[in-house]
Amino acid sequence: MSLDLPLIWAGLIATAVLLYVLLDGFDLGVGILFPFSRSKEDRDVMMNTVAPVWDGNETWLVLGGGGLLAAFPLAYSIVMPAFYLPVILMLAGLILRGVAFEFRFRGRARGRPFWTAMFAFGSILAAFAQGLILGGFIQGVTVVDDRFAGGTFDWFTPYTLLVAVGLVCGYALLGAAWLMWKTADELHGDARRWALIASVLTALFLLGVSLSTLVVHPVVAERWGWTGAGFDMDRFLPQLWIPLLGLIGFGLVGWGVAKASHGWPFVGAALVFLSGYAGLAAGFFPYVAPYAVDFRTAAAPDNALGLMLAGTAVILPLILAYSGWVYWVFRGKVTPEAGYH
Amino acid sequence: MEFDALLLSRLQFAFTIAFHILFPAFTIGLAAYLAVLEGLWLWTKRDAFRTLYLFWVKIFAISFGMGVVSGIVLSYQFGTNWSEFIRLTGGVIGPLLAYEVLTAFFLEASFLGVMLFGWKKVGPRLHFLATVLVAVGTTISAFWILSANSWMQTPQGFEVLPDGRFVATSFVEVIFNPSFPSRLAHMLLAAFLTTALVVGAASAWQLLRNRDQPESRIGLTMAVGLLAVVAPLQLLVGHWSGEVAKEHQPMKLAAIESYWESKANHPLVLFAIPDRATQSNHYEIAVPGAGIIVAPPDEVVQGLDAVPPEDQPPVFLVFWAFRVMVGLGLLMIGLGLWGAWLTWRKRLTDNRWFLRFAVAMGPAGFVAVIAGWIVTEVGRQPWVVYGVLRTADAVSPVTAGSVATSLLIYISVYAVVFAAGAIYILRLLDEGPDVGRVEPSPEGLRAPGTPLAAAPDEAPGDPK
């Protein structure tokens, strides 16, 4: 029996990107919420909840990018030029917020407020740019002769802007839920309020994006059985679990916020993202460069995929184990007294 | 020269990679140094080693963060600016880059958190293990990325399909290509030298103010010990690298030596203004007979005339970058030997001229590393994969306007980040190892009234 290597790699990269979205999502979210915090001390605590883990979280983005390069070079070489400027903006945002972790602690009178602002600005910019890329991905990419052949600003449409703002709200929800989990007292109360507001906004944008996707994009609409006047239930019902999962997620967030719970809102927010992710996957599987190149066409030669899979099978469980261990080491609430002053 | 997407993309890649390489060049060596310091502390229980560790780990945290974020840029730039390169060679070079992420980046990133923030969360042995794993991660990272780069210099183990795409015939040959062993050794030694020069300069700076600063005496002695051994060794490894280039990339060697004619018994050119237009050197100063360090007498060395001018690398840049690198390398050997002599005479910290020289040599490693990479990368031109794929055929289908915009964004962001990072690092270096004397507090709780209650709380990574 031979393994279906392209399919396995499509699954692995999809998993890496999902982990990235969930993990860096909450630490980007913490940055997005920075402008709403009350005091320097609160911001210190907020940053300390993610400081030991953000670097590991962001590595999933490198694996997503590097994995796409290695496993589906054709898709990588089409998608990156297609989203040239949003990718650059995302990287600029990630640079500014990434160095802010250290620089904010080193800065003095002028440096500290500047890097506080850069942490927020970079987080918002990175999240927004990721939203533009995501929206552009759903819109589809113009491909001629295995190369990107669209315009410089194809990714700039009302639809992609809607997705981008929605993603910023979604990350804010993850960040707020994370803070409810990791903080106590007054900050926990603030996080609770942020989670409420962010979940309402995320729900509205998710609904808006879902409906406009059906209108904007016929391929996705067809997948979901949307006929223009109603849903073809034979196509829609088997995928009904996806929106239901999202509803359960929002329900958990709402219930957790109402109860001033600690862990449940984060579980709920993660389910919301899982639902959105599954909805996308149902919309454009098997394309990796929508809607021109599918994952089989884009795949690297089997010997390359096989070589990587041999290593991944051993190393990925190890990575998951020690990443999990790091979270375990830094478990529990972060408070001003117990922090790293 | 037209500012098209190709030229702008090359400028952007040169700028972003030159910026990035500064940090790995420093952190590879520094991570190993930190592992040694922490190991010595656990072994000897001497507080000086802990103080040095807690001092240098703060500088490591800043440098490493800058290395991480500037490295992410590169992994995406292959796609944004060099998509044709990846479309064609991704099936060969991709696994090497993927293995770098899997075996190195996760290891470094995860254990860095423990290293910087886990001082009181895990036991000393586990913390030491985290430091060692970060150091191992940086070295594994160098292994893969240098393997990928070396394959672009001396490609083998692949075939080109009719549609132009590359497919590997042997990944062992791809990974262990001819220029890889010498390049890996050369780069790792360069990283150790860069770190030793910075540690030496920082220690000498403190000793110029206070010749009894105990940690700085240890730091300077360790740096001198490393320089005295590794700097001469690097000369030999560099020569090995040159021999590999002579065999596999003759045009790179011709550019390094500015040899325009293929012949035997070349002189050694010390000074020249190479001119591609006239295909000759102006104002050449050469030593007849000294060419034997390039090739034995009577061995014909290919000159740039062996290929048409459009296939020649830019000679001026390669020739001069090489001389900057070698000149600095010789100064490093001088510093190491002088320091070893003074150590033997037990006068290392007394000689103020030596201390000043050590301070002045602080940035030499960075300059030499960048000069060396200019030799390597510019010397490969006009090829992205030597002899197989031209740089001009590797560029993305993006507009010059897009690339100009992104280059402007990178320059502005890096200028701010670099300026701030340099200030924060220099400030710490100026404060000296005393910064490392305060141990991070156990959970931040100190009994009021104790001497430490007034001391600032500091974690190794980030006091604030």
- The pLDDT tens digits of the residues spanning B210-237 come to 888 889 999 999 999 999 999 999 999 9
A312 touches chain B (CB under 8 A): yes
Quote the ipTM score. 0.90
pLDDT for the residue numbered B371: 96
Of A69, A81, A85, the CB nearest to B90: A69
Q: What is the pLDDT of residue B107?
A: 92
Out of A80, A307, A326, closest to residue B95 by CB: A307
Name the residue of chain B whose CA is nearest to A69's CA.
B94
- Our measurement of the distance from residue A209's CA atom to the centroid of its chain's CA atoms, rounded to an integer in Å, reads 16
Q: How far is A199 from chain B (nearest CA, A)?
A: 30
Q: Going by C-beta distance under 8 Å and a sequence separation of 6 or more, which residues neighbour residue B293?
A: B239, B268
- Is pLDDT of B148 > 60? yes
Inter-chain residue contact A80 with B110, CB threshold 8 Å: no
> What is the chain B residue with the closest CA to A83?
B80
Of the partner residues B102, B445, B459, the one whose CB lies closest to the CB of residue A315: B102
- Substitution target in A102, A108, A112, A142 with the highest count of B β-carbons within 10 Å is A102
Measured distance CA(B6)–CA(B322) in Å, rounded:
25
B1 band by pLDDT with thresholds 50, 70 and 90: low
- What confidence tens digit (pLDDT) does each residue in B168-202 have? 999 999 999 999 999 999 999 999 999 999 999 99
Is residue A91 within 8 angstroms of chain B, CB to CB?
Answer: yes
B321: which residues sit within 8 A by CB, 6+ positions away? Answer: B371, B372, B374, B375, B378
Residue of A nearest to B463 (CA): A341
**Chain B residues close to A89, C-beta within 8 Å:** 409
Interface test with B, best of A40, A43, A84 (most B CBs within 10 A): A84
Q: What value, to the nearest 5°, has the Cα angle with vertex B391 and ends B389 and B397?
A: 105
From chain B, pick out residues whose CB is under 8 angstroms from the CB of A52: 113-114, 116-118
Chain B residue at shortest CA distance from A104: B464
Whether A119 and chain B come into contact, CB under 8 Å, resolves to no
pLDDT at B446 over 50: no
Q: Is A81 in contact with B80 (Cβ distance < 8 A)?
A: yes
Residue B455 has pLDDT above 70, yes or no: no
Interface probe, candidates B58, B60, B72, chain A, greatest A C-beta count within 10 A: B72
Q: Which residue has the higher pLDDT, B464 or B183?
A: B183
Distance from CA of B330 to the nearest CA of A (A): 35
Q: How far is CA B106 from CA A107, A150, B110, in A?
A: 28, 35, 6
pLDDT at B85 over 70: yes
pLDDT of residue A110: 87
- Contact list, A88 vs chain B (CB under 8 Å): 80, 405-406, 409-410
Q: Which has the closest alpha carbon to A183: A195, A171, A167, A170?
A: A195
Residues 141-180 of A with CB under 8 A from B: 146-149, 152
What is residue B293's predicted lDDT score, i.e. its pLDDT?
85
Ranges B108-117, B308-317, B347-356, B449-458: which has the least confidence: B449-458
- Chain A interface, mutation test: which of B6, B15, B75, most A Cβ atoms within 10 Å? B75
Cβ separation B117–A101 shorter than 8 A: no
Contact B105 A62 (CB under 8 A): yes
Residues A155/A195, Cβ–Cβ less than 8 Å: no
Q: Which of A286, A66, A293 is nearest to B90 (CA)?
A: A66
CB contacts of A99 in chain B (<8 Å) are 65-66, 69, 417, 420-421
The residues facing A147 across adjacent strands are: A144
Asked if B126 and A329 touch (Cβ cutoff 8 Å), the reply is: no
CB contact under 8 A, B76 and A74: no
- Is the pLDDT confidence value at B452 over 70? no
Of A65, A101, A146, Cβ closest to residue B75: A65
Measured CA to CA in angstroms, residue A314 lies from A19, A286, A317, A318 at distances of: 18, 27, 6, 7
Each residue's pLDDT, cut to its tens digit, for chain A (341 residues) gives 578 999 999 999 999 999 999 999 999 999 999 999 999 999 999 999 999 999 999 999 989 989 999 999 999 999 999 999 999 999 999 999 999 999 998 888 889 999 999 999 999 999 999 999 999 988 888 999 888 988 889 899 999 999 999 999 999 999 999 999 999 889 999 999 999 999 999 999 999 998 898 888 888 888 888 887 788 888 888 889 999 999 999 999 999 999 988 999 999 999 999 999 998 888 888 888 888 888 999 999 999 999 999 999 999 999 999 999 999 999 888 887 654 43
Taking a contact as any Cβ pair under 8 Å apart, which residues of chain B between 118 and 147 contact chain A?
118, 121-122
How far is A148 from chain B, CA to nearest CA, in Å?
7
State the count of interchain CB pairs (< 8 A) between A and B.
258
Residue of A nearest to B111 (CA): A326
Q: Exposed/middle/buried for A92, CB within 10 Å: 0-12, 13-18, 19+?
A: buried
Q: Does A96 touch chain B (CB under 8 A)?
A: yes
Instruction: State the pLDDT at residue A236.
Output: 85
Cα–Cα dist A308/A63, whole Å: 12
Strand partners, B158: B168
Token pair recorded at residue B463: 């006091």
Confidence of residue B439 (pLDDT cuts 50, 70, 90): low
Contact B75 A53 (CB under 8 A): no
The pLDDT of residue B444 is 39
